[in-house]
């Protein structure tokens, strides 16, 4: 199971989502974790690098929802460590 940490801005963003958006994000994170274990992200999550933000990636969790993350140093040997930086819609994320 991968480990993760979050930033204060991520929590602020998450609190700003509607209940339905938070549910959709959590469902996408379940798929994201499964894909991390499998070693490849499914096309539907549209995980890709962010131009102008080296080392940062975005994951699409809804038509207008995305989350920004980066990889951190392993906390448990052999497990990826994710740092969630931001979550929201295309209108409020960089």
Structure tokens at 18: 């509607």
Query: Is 0.75 topped by the overall pTM?
Result: yes
Q: Averaged over 43-70, what is the pLDDT?
A: 95
Q: Mind listing the pLDDT tens digit for each residue in 64-91? A: 899 999 999 999 999 999 999 999 987 7
* Amino acid 50: pLDDT: 95
The domain covering 3-89 belongs, at the CATH homologous superfamily level, to: RelE-like (3.30.2310.20)
Domain ranges (residues) in the chain: 3-89
Q: Burial code of 14-52, b = ≥16 C-beta within 10 A, e = fewer?
A: beebeeebbebbeebbeebeebbeeeebeeebebeebee
């Amino acid at each position: 199971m991968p480990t993760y940490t979050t930033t204060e801005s991520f929590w602020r963003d998450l609190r700003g989502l509607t209940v339905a958006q938070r549910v959709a994000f959590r469902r996408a994170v379940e798929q994201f974790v499964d894909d991390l274990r499998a070693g490849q992200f499914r096309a539907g999550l549209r995980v890709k690098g962010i131009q102008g933000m080296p080392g940062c990636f975005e994951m699409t969790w809804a038509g207008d929802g995305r989350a920004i993350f980066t990889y951190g140093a392993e906390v448990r040997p052999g497990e990826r460590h994710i740092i969630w930086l931001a979550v929201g819609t295309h209108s409020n994320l960089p």
